[in-house]
Amino acid sequence: MQDSKINFLYKILLTSHELPSLSSSEIPIPQTTLDKKDGFIHLSNSAQVIQTASRFFDTEDEILVLKISHYQNGIKENIKWETPPGLEERFPHFYGDLLVKHIVDIVRVKNLKKGGSEGFEWPEGWLEV
Which pLDDT tens digit goes with each residue over 50-73? Answer: 989 988 898 999 999 999 999 888
Instruction: Give pTM, 2 decimals.
Output: 0.90
- Sketch out the chain's domains with CATH numbers: 3-18+27-111 (3.20.170.20)
Which pLDDT tens digit goes with each residue over 7-49? Answer: 999 999 999 998 888 887 889 999 999 999 999 999 999 989 9
69-104 burial, b if ≥16 CB within 10 A, otherwise e?
A: ebeeeebeeebeeeeeeeeeeebbbbeeebbbebbe
Q: How confident is the model at residue 3 (pLDDT cuts 50, 70, 90)?
A: low
